[in-house]
C-alpha cells in the first residue's frame, strides 16, 4: 500500500467552477449526428427524429455547451445547405472525412436538439474554404431577430425567435496541414481578426474563439498562438487548445501521465497570450477554450476515413474505451479544473459514437462508455469554487514525462451547501493508495459519499451486451476522524470523496 496526503483549505481559491468546463462536441463525422443524436426510425425518436435515449444520456452526463458542426468538417461546410425543406437540400462531398453529407440535419435541427438536451450551442464558422461574408450571414441567421434576408429566412423556416448563440469558434485547427484551407499563423490571424470585427458589427456581445494549436506537438506550437494573437488580440476573447492522448507502444505509464502534457499545454498558451498582452499593451486577458480533448486511438484503423467510396455516416473513430482510458480522462478533467482561472471553456470531443462517452447502435441500444463516468461525476459534483490542493504523493517513472505523482487531485468547495468534493486518480496499476485528506479549515468533517471507478482488468470495456461492466460503486474503505478523512484508492481508479464541514 502506498501513502499520499492532500491538504484542502477553502481560502485557496483558484476561481469559480465554470460550467462551460463541461462542454462537449457534435461534428458531422461518422455516426455522431446520423444514428447518434438523429435516428428517425429509432423507437425513442421524437417528431424531429432525435433519439430520446441519447438526449437522456446527454443530460445525465451533465453537458453544458456543445460545439457544432465541426471540427475538420466545418472547414468545407456550406451552412446554407442545411436549411429549408429537407427534400431540397443538396448532398455534398465532405472532404475532411471522405463521406457524403446528406444535410438532413443543419443549424435549425441542431438548435432544436440543443434546446431539448438543455445545452448551450457553441457554433464554429468555416474559415477554410469560406470567410467573412458567410460567417456574418450565419450569425445573422442565428442571432438577428427579423427584418433582414437571413433572419427572415430563419423565421420562414420555422424559428421565430433568434438562437442567441454567444460563443463562436473562428474556424477549426487552421494550424494543421490536414485542414482544408490550412493557413499560416499570420494569414489566419488576419482573417480571424477581420471576421471577428465584422461579426461584432452584427452582435457586439459575442465571445469569439481564435484557433490555437491542434496539439502541443505541432511544430508551430507557441509561436502560432503568439502570432495569431498579435493580429487578433482585440477581436477575440479566447484561444482554443486541442489535445488527444493515446497509449503508444504499450507505454501505459506515460499514457496514464497524459495530464502532464495538458498542464504544460495550458501553461504555455497562457504564457504566449500574456506575452502578447504585455507587448501589445492590451488590458484584457485572453483565456483558453480547450474545445477538443479526449483519449483517441489515432493509430487504430477505424480512425481512417474510407478512400474508395463516399458513404453516408460510416462508422469512424469509434474507440471503445477501457478502464485505463477512463482514469486518463479523469486526470485530464483534474488538469482542466485546476486551471479554471484561465481555462474558461472545454469540450470533450465528441459526444456520441465518435471518440465518445455515449455509444449507440443504429435503431438499437445506447450505453455509457467507461469515460462517461469521470465526466458525469465532475460535472455533477464540482460546485462553487475550485481549490488549489497541497498534495504529497509518491512518484513513478515514465519514459515521456520523467517522475510523475501516482496520485493527482483537485477539490471544489460550495459555500452554499458547505460541501467539499475531492476528485482524485490513482495512476498505479498494481498498488492501492491510502490517501489522507486534511480539511484544514473544518472543525469536523462529515462524509457525504465516497465512490470509485475501477476494475480488476485495466482493459475492461462496456459494450452493448454488457453495458455495466465498468461502473462507479461506493468505496467502503473510508474513515473520518475529526477533520481528517482516510480513503483507500484502489489501483487504477477515478475517485470522488464528498464531505461536509
Q: Where are the alpha helices (DSSP H) in 64-217?
A: 107-117, 132-143, 149-156, 185-202
Return the bridge partners of 402, or none: 398
In the complex, least distance from residue 317 CB atom to ligand AHR, rounded to whole angstroms: 6
CA distances from 340 to 23, 160, 275 (A): 14, 36, 20
- CA nearest neighbour of 474 among 456, 448, 492: 448
In the complex, least distance from residue 29 CB atom to ligand AHR, rounded to whole angstroms: 6
Q: Which stretch binds ligand AHR (CB under 6 A): 68-76, 139-147, 356-364, 443-451?
A: 68-76
Q: Which stretch binds ligand AHR (CB under 6 A): 14-22, 69-77, 132-140, 462-470?
A: 69-77
Nearer to ligand AHR, 290 or 423 (CB): 290
In the complex, least distance from residue 98 CB atom to ligand AHR, rounded to whole angstroms: 13
CB-CB contact of 261 with 245 (8 Å): yes
Determine if 70 is a binding residue for ligand AHR (CB under 6 A). yes
CB-CB contact of 25 with 349 (8 Å): yes
Site string for ligand AHR, 181-220 (x = CB under 6 A): ---------------------------------x------
In the complex, least distance from residue 160 CB atom to ligand AHR, rounded to whole angstroms: 33
Nearer to ligand AHR, 86 or 312 (CB): 312
Residue that the C-alpha cell 460510416 belongs to: 314
Separation CA 108–CA 100 (nearest Å): 20
Q: Which stretch binds ligand AHR (CB under 6 A): 65-73, 190-198, 384-392, 443-451?
A: 65-73
* Residues numbered 102-141 forming contacts with ligand AHR, rule: CB under 6 A: none
Binding residue for ligand AHR, selected from 350, 366, 369, 370, defined by CB under 6 A: 350
Helix or strand (DSSP H, E) at 370: none
Q: Which residue number places its CB atom closest to ligand AHR? A: 71
Rg (CA), the chain: 22
Q: Is 11 tagged catalytic?
A: no
- The catalytically annotated residue of 173, 225, 231, 488 is 173
Nearer to ligand AHR, 214 or 428 (CB): 214
Cis peptide before 151 (omega within 30 of 0): no
Binding residue for ligand AHR, selected from 4, 9, 10, 27, defined by CB under 6 A: 27
- The catalytically annotated residue of 80, 101, 225, 292 is 292
- In terms of Cβ atoms closer than 10 Å to its own Cβ (0-12, 13-18, 19+), residue 397 is exposed
Separation CA 401–CA 335 (nearest Å): 15
Nearer to ligand AHR, 372 or 423 (CB): 372
Nearer to ligand AHR, 129 or 148 (CB): 129
Binding residue for ligand AHR, selected from 261, 292, 325, 408, defined by CB under 6 A: 292
Nearer to ligand AHR, 221 or 423 (CB): 221
Determine if 349 is a binding residue for ligand AHR (CB under 6 A). yes
In the complex, least distance from residue 54 CB atom to ligand AHR, rounded to whole angstroms: 18
Separation CA 347–CA 339 (nearest Å): 15
Q: Which stretch binds ligand AHR (CB under 6 A): 1-9, 67-75, 120-128, 194-202?
A: 67-75
Nearer to ligand AHR, 57 or 174 (CB): 174
- CA nearest neighbour of 323 among 358, 398, 360, 374: 374
Q: Is 173 tagged catalytic?
A: yes
CA distances from 372 to 48, 182, 350, 357, 435 (A): 26, 33, 11, 5, 24
* Residues numbered 145-184 forming contacts with ligand AHR, rule: CB under 6 A: 172-173
Q: Which stretch binds ligand AHR (CB under 6 A): 7-15, 70-78, 84-92, 413-421?
A: 70-78
In the complex, least distance from residue 242 CB atom to ligand AHR, rounded to whole angstroms: 6
Under rule CB under 6 A, how many of the chain's residues touch ligand AHR?
11
CA distances from 408 to 275, 425, 433 (A): 29, 6, 11
Nearer to ligand AHR, 238 or 349 (CB): 349
Q: Which stretch binds ligand AHR (CB under 6 A): 66-74, 99-107, 247-255, 429-437?
A: 66-74
Determine if 76 is a binding residue for ligand AHR (CB under 6 A). no
Separation CA 4–CA 126 (nearest Å): 48
Nearer to ligand AHR, 336 or 387 (CB): 336
In the complex, least distance from residue 2 CB atom to ligand AHR, rounded to whole angstroms: 36
Separation CA 487–CA 434 (nearest Å): 6
CB-CB contact of 462 with 367 (8 Å): yes
CA distances from 33 to 211, 315, 326, 398, 475 (A): 23, 11, 24, 38, 37
Query: Whole-angstrom distance between the N-terminal and C-terminal Cα of the chain?
Result: 28
Separation CA 388–CA 398 (nearest Å): 25
Separation CA 33–CA 69 (nearest Å): 9
In the complex, least distance from residue 350 CB atom to ligand AHR, rounded to whole angstroms: 6
In the complex, least distance from residue 225 CB atom to ligand AHR, rounded to whole angstroms: 17
Binding residue for ligand AHR, selected from 21, 24, 58, 72, defined by CB under 6 A: 72
What totals of helices (H) and strands (E) does the chain contain, helices first?
10, 26
- CA nearest neighbour of 170 among 222, 229, 115: 229
Site of interaction with ligand AHR (CB under 6 A): 27, 29, 70-72, 172-173, 214, 292, 349-350
User: Which positions are annotated as active-site residues?
Assistant: 173, 292
Amino acid at each position: 500500500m502506498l501513502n499520499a496526503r492532500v491538504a484542502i483549505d477553502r481560502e485557496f481559491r483558484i476561481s469559480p467552477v465554470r460550467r462551460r468546463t463541461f462542454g462537449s462536441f457534435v461534428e458531422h463525422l461518422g455516426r455522431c449526428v446520423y444514428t447518434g443524436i438523429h435516428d428517425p426510425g429509432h423507437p425513442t425518436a421524437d417528431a424531429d427524429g432525435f433519439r430520446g435515449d441519447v438526449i437522456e444520456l446527454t443530460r445525465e452526463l451533465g453537458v453544458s455547451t456543445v460545439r457544432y458542426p465541426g471540427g475538420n468538417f466545418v472547414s468545407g461546410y456550406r451552412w446554407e445547405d442545411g436549411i429549408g425543406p429537407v427534400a431540397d437540400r443538396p448532398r455534398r462531398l465532405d472532404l475532411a472525412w471522405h463521406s457524403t453529407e446528406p444535410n438532413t440535419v443543419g443549424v435549425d435541427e441542431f438548435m432544436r436538439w440543443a434546446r431539448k438536451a438543455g445545452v448551450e450551442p457553441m457554433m464554429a464558422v468555416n474559415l477554410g474554404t469560406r470567410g467573412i461574408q458567410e460567417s456574418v450571414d450565419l450569425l445573422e441567421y442565428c442571432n438577428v431577430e427579423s427584418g433582414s434576408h437571413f433572419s427572415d429566412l430563419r423565421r420562414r423556416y420555422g424559428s421565430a425567435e433568434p438562437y442567441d448563440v454567444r460563443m463562436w469558434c473562428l474556424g477549426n485547427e487552421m494550424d494543421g496541414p490536414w485542414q482544408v484551407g490550412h493557413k499560416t499563423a499570420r494569414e489566419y490571424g488576419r482573417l480571424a481578426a477581420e471576421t471577428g470585427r465584422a461579426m461584432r458589427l452584427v452582435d457586439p456581445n459575442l465571445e469569439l474563439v481564435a484557433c490555437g494549436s491542434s496539439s502541443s506537438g505541432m511544430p508551430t506550437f507557441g509561436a502560432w498562438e503568439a502570432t495569431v494573437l498579435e493580429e487578433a488580440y482585440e477581436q477575440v476573447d479566447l484561444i482554443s487548445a486541442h489535445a488527444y492522448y493515446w497509449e503508444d507502444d504499450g507505454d501505459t505509464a506515460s499514457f496514464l501521465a497524459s495530464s502532464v502534457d495538458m498542464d504544460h499545454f495550458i501553461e504555455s498558451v497562457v504564457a504566449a497570450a500574456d506575452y502578447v498582452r504585455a507587448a501589445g499593451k492590451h488590458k484584457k486577458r485572453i483565456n483558453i477554450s480547450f474545445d477538443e480533448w479526449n483519449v483517441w486511438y489515432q493509430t487504430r484503423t477505424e480512425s481512417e476515413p474510407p478512400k474508395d467510396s463516399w458513404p453516408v455516416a460510416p462508422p469512424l473513430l469509434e474507440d471503445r474505451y477501457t478502464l485505463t482510458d477512463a482514469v486518463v480522462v479523469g486526470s485530464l478533467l483534474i488538469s482542466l479544473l485546476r486551471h479554471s482561472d484561465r481555462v474558461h471553456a472545454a469540450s470533450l470531443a465528441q459526444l456520441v459514437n465518435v471518440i465518445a462517452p455515449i455509444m449507440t447502435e443504429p435503431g438499437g441500444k445506447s450505453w455509457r462508455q467507461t469515460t462517461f463516468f469521470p465526466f458525469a461525476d465532475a460535472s455533477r459534483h464540482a460546485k462553487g469554487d475550485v481549490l488549489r490542493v497541497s498534495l504529497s504523493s509518491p512518484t513513478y517513472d515514465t519514459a515521456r514525462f520523467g517522475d510523475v505523482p501516482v496520485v493527482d487531485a483537485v477539490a471544489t468547495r460550495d459555500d452554499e451547501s458547505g460541501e467539499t468534493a475531492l476528485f482524485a486518480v490513482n495512476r498505479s496499476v498494481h498498488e492501492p493508495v491510502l490517501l489522507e485528506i486534511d480539511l484544514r479549515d473544518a472543525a469536523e468533517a462529515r462524509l457525504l459519499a465516497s465512490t470509485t471507478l475501477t476494475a480488476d482488468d485495466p482493459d475492461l470495456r462496456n459494450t452493448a451486451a454488457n453495458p455495466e461492466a465498468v461502473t462507479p460503486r461506493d468505496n467502503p474503505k473510508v474513515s473520518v476522524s475529526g477533520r481528517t478523512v482516510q480513503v483507500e484508492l484502489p489501483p487504477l481508479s477515478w475517485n470522488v470523496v464528498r464531505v461536509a464541514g
